[in-house]
Chains A and B, each alone.
Chain A
């Protein structure tokens, strides 16, 4: 059979068909070249790698931190780094990116443009993270919040908007502290890499951050499957009460301002459980803006969380421990008489009273009331002797870590007779808190033992740990019993009585409180500083069922050097709020409720 020419497909149609197929093929070749070598090559390459199922590291959400009543102290949000894919930049987009960012973020346009035009490829970099210049911390990555990211994202998606091609918003987790400076020193902070430093964030970093896992994630739909979540970080409930913390911080800030002090701390602890109810420090630290504090910490490690890191010579508040030791050893009684001549020599070193006066015949209560250095030096050196004295101090944990669950704790310094540089004169000075260094938390823990019937418990700031498996509650840890319950009771009664005579500025009507003032000289390389002091007060109440121990410390107050003048009123102000917040009825109401 033959086919006539008229029945064959037209040659023109064949040519058109071939041309179309040729064009299609050519288009495919062009697209292949574009994908391989064009400006979007890195993007396609990344997608290709992702499609192959690259390993991906899944980082779990960092655990949340609450106060004891559920006030959120640390949570998580998202921030965005601004990154630039240099191979996608054009001359126009460089100008537009610099212009838009300088207007939206109020940054110098020259600095941004310089970063965009720098010859990064010569350094092997094809993708950069834009930075800004911070006057305190140097160059820091630019981070934007979700609102600004939304605006920039809108520009990127809108073809009519300025050409920002090459700019990318890279989301990253951000730690957020809703309360700003509240308990900032206690919380510590988390850096941009998600690592916790100082305070709770530093101590519990491993628990809070959870465990990152590596999964092989495929973006080919048939291969996709629900990946397991990485083991999440635990949520923490602190012993801190946000209201008490706020009360302490407001009182401290006012006191620092009024006394023109350099700084200060306030600690509030439950002596029966060791729970820290408040831990305030001034200058205040805002963990949302931690960068300047990193620089401070480089110069002075105790700048952050000073309650556990800033050791100092405690001065007269330390007399509580000396008298506790003497009472427990049975070498003195509250009404024993001491004739104060105004000075005493211990180990060749003459010790004098704070006012260089002789106070004549005084009971032990009078010695505490008038804070007589000579009397306490006599008690330690003549009545108690060196070995028992230092044994007691060791039992009280002086010179040792308390083990509180906060990062950066230091042990303080106590030279005992075993120390090669110890001399007998140390016994005299140590008895009234000179020549010995403690941290505020150490002194608080030791004095809390007196408040708690001689039983010393470990201070802690976490009361509940909640993981995906459930919740558990750290138990109260008893560190020891340095003195007997009877000695603790006797000393408490002495301090109640002496407080009435020493200062009325620390008492609260209706409540029986015990306490001791302190005015400590500051050691320097050339002896003690003639001008500055550390004024402090430590006290507790109600003495029959102690619910709080409060330590107030003010560094270098200008208006008055004395603890009784500048620190005791802070104690009073805090306790007036504490009894309300902790719902502690006055003594007469308690007696009435008990049927007394």
Chain B
């Protein structure tokens, strides 16, 4: 039994340099794998950071645009108030019509203009996770699960 034990050990003993190479290779392989995962993680995080910054910028821009839109809407309304329109009309020679000025004509099939419908207010109902793509919100673990699920043919 003792011989049997010794023999294979002696017979398959590797040269020290081989062992060193193997150890180094294994370590390097692990290191490379770690680096790859780290790089991947870093890349995803960088994209996420860029996207996050873009979201912040767009949010600020959107708020500013909404504010500007309100200002312009107000200015437009200021310029077209009934009082101002009446003044402008009077200044170019118009006057309010008197009932005697009006001639009524019967038109068969006349369809009166449709009634004014106000625009819908700006805003949307709240959603639990916002509207970002899952690519920016899922964790690495979730991504791996999704990837493995895809490889196994799961949907």
Contact = CB atoms under 8 A, between A and B. Distances in A.
A151 interface: no
Contacts of A221: 48-53, 56
B102 interface: yes
A75 B82 contact: no
Interface in B69-104: 70-71, 73-74, 76-78, 80-83, 86, 96-100, 102, 104
A471 B126 contact: no
Interface in A225-280: 225-237, 242-243, 245-246
A586 interface: yes
A230 B70 CA distance: 17
B64 to A, nearest CB: 10
Contact of A466 (B86, B106, B118): B118
B74 A178 contact: yes
A509 interface: yes
A464 interface: yes
A246 B104 contact: no
A143 to B, nearest CB: 15
A179 B121 contact: no
A78 B120 contact: no
Contacts of B83: 179-180, 182, 246
A481 interface: no
B19 interface: no
A176 B136 CA distance: 40
A78 B71 contact: yes
A68 to B, nearest CB: 7
Contact of A179 (B66, B82, B123, B137): B82
B151 interface: no
Interface string B29-67: 000000000000000010011111101100100000011
B122 interface: yes
Contacts of B76: 72
Contact of B123 (A178, A237, A468): A468
Contact of B124 (A75, A228, A585): A228
B122 A61 contact: yes
B127 interface: yes
Contacts of B129: 225
A213 B123 CA distance: 12
B124 A468 contact: yes
Contacts of A233: 121
A20 interface: no
Interface residues of A, number: 65
Interface in A545-586: 576-577, 579-580, 585-586
A225 to B, nearest CB: 4
Nearest to A508: B99
B74 A176 contact: yes
Contact of B118 (A61, A220, A237): A237
Contacts of A227: 59, 130
A182 B48 CA distance: 52
B121 A69 contact: no
Contacts of A77: 70-71, 74
Contacts of B131: 226, 228
A351 B100 CA distance: 45
Contacts of A60: 121, 123
- Among B123, B124, B129, B137, max chain A CB count under 10 A is at B123
Nearest to A72: B77
A347 interface: no
- Among A78, A237, A509, max chain B CB count under 10 A is at A78
A213 B126 contact: yes
A219 interface: yes
B116 A70 contact: yes
Interface string A68-109: 111110011110000000000000000000000000000000
A270 B130 CA distance: 47
Contact of A464 (B70, B118, B121): B118
B120 to A, nearest CB: 6
A224 B82 contact: no
Given A224-B53, A236-B118, A78 B123 contact: no
A539 interface: no
Contact of A228 (B52, B78, B127): B127
B119 interface: yes
B121 to A, nearest CB: 4
14 contacts: A71-B81, A76-B70, A76-B74, A179-B83, A220-B52, A221-B53, A224-B52, A226-B59, A229-B123, A467-B121, A510-B99, A586-B99, A589-B104, A592-B106
- 3 A-B pairs with least C-beta separation: A232-B123, A221-B52, A228-B126
